[in-house]
């Protein structure tokens, strides 16, 4: 199959590279000349484990190429994927579909022979229909269908998620379109990945419902964590105790500083806006969104309390990205927490294994080169992201480096009893605070 992938962000680049790994011929198109030039030189614009290898192998095999020229890519394609960004629109939180419709208009101009146009970007219900209308208006003669095929990959494990998804969802009423998408995903039949065919509207909503449900799960356990702190319970035990119930499931029950990233915050907001618009308000999602926003400030206050007031203190921050194994800073809790600490008189020094370049664009702080230099002479350390290299700190050394043996661990990566033994005052999420024994 020949594929044109419009947009080389996370979803576009990973999907394009993985489709070519499946044996299809893929051309990835982006308007950004410098990005395409870099990709042609073999440089990957984002940090995503394993992506560089898949891209290099696919390029070498001749099945993956990059271009700024959408026309020829679309003309030759059996399937054209729209994988452009759908950020939150400023002011109202609706998904901004400008890039989607721009792409649809450009695609329309170059369609040649039967083609399936597939929206892979996360788009509100009804967008597929509007894309179809846009293309039809521009090219009444064109032979095409518009299908929805949302992507469920996570940053940091995107390649694995694409190769071994829990399911593939395809929304279309057209049998021809189904055939092409079935063919595209054929390699996944080997590992018996379920492929779910639905209407376009259901498929579009499945994506939002999945993200909103996961965001709800996280927010629920975060509230349980607050409750645990008040009543002397341990949120990890509670999560395990409920997660072993197959109806609940153990995943996405890690309490922390609130969810961030390029998807949950924007998608919950867009979903609740859709609900308001169509007169079916999603009260649960609305609450989730609010609780999560407030949580980031609560976490800064928690740090303030742990330090006995951050004014005049030097705070070592480990981790700035919204999760490990990415350099993505979008909606990261650190974007609220770090400025809050600074506004309240703290000096913040920080280190992130991959996120420094991105962090610099959004935050001002004392940049450190590694964990040791971050810890040195600080009044305490705060763990904001659970990177592997922060999971196995030498506590004796950490204690030596810090002025005060104080750790606020917002990702619960250490055990309170061990931290007390190591001589720390240790504050975590939804577990008891311990002091040195």
Of the ranges 36-44, 179-187, 247-255, 417-425, which one interacts with ligand UGA (CB under 6 A)?
Answer: 247-255
Q: In this complex, which beta carbon is closest to ligand UGA, that of residue 154 or of residue 347?
A: 154
Which of 58, 65, 115, 122 is the binder for ligand UGA (CB under 6 A)? Answer: 122
Q: In this complex, which beta carbon is closest to ligand UGA, that of residue 41 or of residue 247?
A: 247
Task: Work out whether 296 is an interface residue with ligand UGA (CB under 6 A).
Answer: no
Which of 256, 353, 405, 430 is the binder for ligand UGA (CB under 6 A)? Answer: 256
Distance CA 76, CA 139 (A): 17
β-bridge mates for residue 144, sequence order: 115
Task: Work out whether 264 is an interface residue with ligand UGA (CB under 6 A).
Answer: yes
> What angle do the packed helices 98-110 and 127-138 form, to 10 degrees?
40
Q: Which residues, at least 6 apart from 292, have a Cβ–Cβ distance to it below 8 Å?
A: 215, 218, 219, 222, 258, 259, 264, 265, 268
Catalytic hit among 18, 28, 228, 263: 263
CB of 253 to ligand UGA, least distance (A): 6
Task: Work out whether 154 is an interface residue with ligand UGA (CB under 6 A).
Answer: yes
Near ligand UGA in 319-358, by CB under 6 A: 322-323
Task: Work out whether 263 is an interface residue with ligand UGA (CB under 6 A).
Answer: yes
Task: Tell me whether residue 263 is one of the annotated catalytic residues.
Answer: yes
Task: Work out whether 208 is an interface residue with ligand UGA (CB under 6 A).
Answer: no
The tokens for 362 are 């959004």
Task: Work out whether 218 is an interface residue with ligand UGA (CB under 6 A).
Answer: yes
Task: Work out whether 253 is an interface residue with ligand UGA (CB under 6 A).
Answer: yes
Closest CA to 55 of 8, 100, 88, 101: 8
Q: In this complex, which beta carbon is closest to ligand UGA, that of residue 214 or of residue 393?
A: 214
- Burial bucket for residue 113 (CB in 10 Å: 0-12, 13-18, 19+): exposed
CB of 126 to ligand UGA, least distance (A): 19
Of the ranges 41-49, 152-160, 176-184, 309-317, which one interacts with ligand UGA (CB under 6 A)?
Answer: 152-160
Give the 3-state secondary structure of residue 231.
Answer: helix
Give the 3-state secondary structure of residue 244.
Answer: coil
Which of 18, 214, 269, 359 is the binder for ligand UGA (CB under 6 A)? Answer: 214
Which of 7, 16, 85, 261 is the binder for ligand UGA (CB under 6 A)? Answer: 261
Distance CA 61, CA 170 (A): 28
Distance CA 72, CA 28 (A): 11
Q: In this complex, which beta carbon is closest to ligand UGA, that of residue 115 or of residue 321?
A: 321
Q: In this complex, which beta carbon is closest to ligand UGA, that of residue 79 or of residue 221?
A: 221
Q: In this complex, which beta carbon is closest to ligand UGA, that of residue 111 or of residue 263?
A: 263
Of the ranges 18-26, 56-64, 147-155, 419-427, which one interacts with ligand UGA (CB under 6 A)?
Answer: 147-155
What Rg do the C-alpha atoms of the chain give, in angstroms? 24
CB of 112 to ligand UGA, least distance (A): 31
Q: What are phi and psi of 156, to 5 degrees?
A: 90, -25
Distance CA 226, CA 298 (A): 10
Of the ranges 34-42, 52-60, 148-156, 298-306, which one interacts with ligand UGA (CB under 6 A)?
Answer: 148-156
Task: Work out whether 259 is an interface residue with ligand UGA (CB under 6 A).
Answer: yes
Q: What share of residues in the chain are helix, strand, coil (percent, to 5)?
A: 45, 15, 40
CB of 99 to ligand UGA, least distance (A): 16
The tokens for 220 are 């629920």
Distance CA 208, CA 125 (A): 9
CB of 251 to ligand UGA, least distance (A): 7
The tokens for 223 are 């509230």
The H or E element that residue 127 is part of is helix 127-138
Task: Work out whether 153 is an interface residue with ligand UGA (CB under 6 A).
Answer: yes
Distance CA 374, CA 397 (A): 13
Side by side, which strands form the sheet with 195-198? Answer: 64-67, 25-29, 2-6, 79-82, 115-119, 144-148, 168-171, 195-198
Residues that bind ligand UGA (CB under 6 A): 122, 151-155, 211, 214, 218, 252-254, 256, 259-261, 263-264, 322-323
- Please list the active-site residues: 263
């Amino acid at each position: 199959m020949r594929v044109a992938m419009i947009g080389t962000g996370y979803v576009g680049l990973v999907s394009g590279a993985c489709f070519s790994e499946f044996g299809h011929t893929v051309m990835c198109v982006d308007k950004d000349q410098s990005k395409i030039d870099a990709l042609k030189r073999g440089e990957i614009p984002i940090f995503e484990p394993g992506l560089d290898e898949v891209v290099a192998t696919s390029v070498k095999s001749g099945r993956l190429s990059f271009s700024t020229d959408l026309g020829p890519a679309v003309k030759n394609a059996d399937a054209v994927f729209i994988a452009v960004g759908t950020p939150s629109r400023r002011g109202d939180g609706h998904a901004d579909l400008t890039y989607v419709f721009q792409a649809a208009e450009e695609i329309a101009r170059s369609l040649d022979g039967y083609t399936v146009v597939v929206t892979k970007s996360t788009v509100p219900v009804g967008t597929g229909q509007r894309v179809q209308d846009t293309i039809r208006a521009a090219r009444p003669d064109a032979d095409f269908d518009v299908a929805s095929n949302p992507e469920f990959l996570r940053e940091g494990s995107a390649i694995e998620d694409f190769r071994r998804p829990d399911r593939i969802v395809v929304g279309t009423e057209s049998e021809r379109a189904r055939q092409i998408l079935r063919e595209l995903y054929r390699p996944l039949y080997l590992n018996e990945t379920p492929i779910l065919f639905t209407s376009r509207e259901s498929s579009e909503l499945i994506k939002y419902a999945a993200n909103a449900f996961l965001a709800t799960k996280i927010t629920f356990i975060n509230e349980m964590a607050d409750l645990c702190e008040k009543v002397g319970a341990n949120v990890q035990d509670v999560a395990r105790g409920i997660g072993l119930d197959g109806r609940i499931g153990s995943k996405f029950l890690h309490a922390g500083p609130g969810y961030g990233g390029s998807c949950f915050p924007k998608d919950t907001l867009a979903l609740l806006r859709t609900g308001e618009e169509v007169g079916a308000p999603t009260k649960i999602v609305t609450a989730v969104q609010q609780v999560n926003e407030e949580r980031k400030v609560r976490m800064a206050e928690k740090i303030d309390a742990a330090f006995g007031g951050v004014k005049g203190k030097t705070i070592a921050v480990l981790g700035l990205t919204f999760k490990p194994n990415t350099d993505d800073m979008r909606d990261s809790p650190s974007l609220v927490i770090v400025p809050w600490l600074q506004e309240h008189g703290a000096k913040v020094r920080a280190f992130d294994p991959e996120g420094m370049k991105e962090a610099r664009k959004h935050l001002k702080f004392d940049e450190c080169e590694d964990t040791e230099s971050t810890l040195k002479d600080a009044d305490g350390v705060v763990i904001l992201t659970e990177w592997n290299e922060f999971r196995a700190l030498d506590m004796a050394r950490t204690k030596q480096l810090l002025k005060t043996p104080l750790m606020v661990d917002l990702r619960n990566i250490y055990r309170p009893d061990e931290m007390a033994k190591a001589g720390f005052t240790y504050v975590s999420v939804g577990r008891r605070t311990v002091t040195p024994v």
